[in-house]
A and B are shown apart, each in its own frame.
Chain A
């Protein structure tokens, strides 16, 4: 090992012990994710004919067809950053298993959701959106789940319907018509909201302004007194919002 490689790891995950063998998990998720991402891109841009300019503008970078899961054969220094959110999310469930999961971002999280059902018997509810549609078309056969669906109209209208775990991506929180407060209001006491890609491709930090909608929804959470928030700025960023265990806890 040359001196400049001192901080590039040769091994990353042999010290993790979890429900799965990490190499088998990476192989399974990776092999399907790559092919399915290509199929989704072809469907969106060739079959439907969605405006391709959206890719470059950031306006629709919804990550339907990029690579989401770790590659066992890539340099592990790169793979580390992909493992971080997977292991962190799994660890949260291990510490405090949840029963009613809301999947905000559909198939993007299929390999994160599958362990919840397999290990903890959690009920999974998908929000009715494009990512659910793409999951059912392209991803469900490789990662089958038992699930219900709730439309956005139902989600908004029924304040009594609560979830104790929500798995989401940043772009779902940036819509002013479905603000982060809506999701936190639908969290049960003691519930957890996990939001991925919350560094906004590092724009949140590089820009040195408060111009990002990502800054805005983090600030909205800071204004609430019924939850705690942890923004972890590694890789694409991950934010964990933990709702108080009971009303007026703090």
Chain B
């Protein structure tokens, strides 16, 4: 079920460039250098977030400010790296195959 008759206006190359910048910026926030970016996997990035931003503490019924801050960093970085990776996979396919 694809619609191939209408003129398509989606610009895959621009989308790929834009989303790739987000991935690169997020990886640099995690401490990876431009030299690393070609070599690391999404698992490397997520595992680093899990190791670095550990927010669980002994009593989960109590909100501790530092835990909240670290949890927010963990969630924000994980979500945005995964979403950016999702977007890059899609845009790259469109650039190369469509």
Contact = CB atoms under 8 A, between A and B. Distances in A.
B12 A174 contact: no
A128 B6 contact: no
Contacts of A128: 9-11, 14-15
B15 A130 contact: yes
Contacts of B27: none
B75 interface: yes
Contact of A213 (B9, B15, B18, B72): B72
A116 interface: no
B83 A62 contact: yes
Contact of B90 (A39, A50, A144, A148): A50
B82 A133 contact: no
Contact of A132 (B1, B9, B85): B9
B22 A211 contact: no
Interface string B25-58: 1000000000000000010000000000001000
A212 B75 contact: yes
Interface in A171-202: 171, 174-177
A94 B8 CA distance: 30
Contacts of B3: 136-141
Interface in B54-98: 55, 63, 68, 71-72, 75-76, 78-83, 85-87, 89-91, 93-94
B90 A48 contact: yes
A33 to B, nearest CB: 12
Contacts of B8: 133, 136-137
Interface of A: 35-36, 39, 44, 47-51, 54, 57-60, 62, 126, 128-130, 132-133, 136-141, 144, 147-149, 151-153, 171, 174-177, 208-213, 216
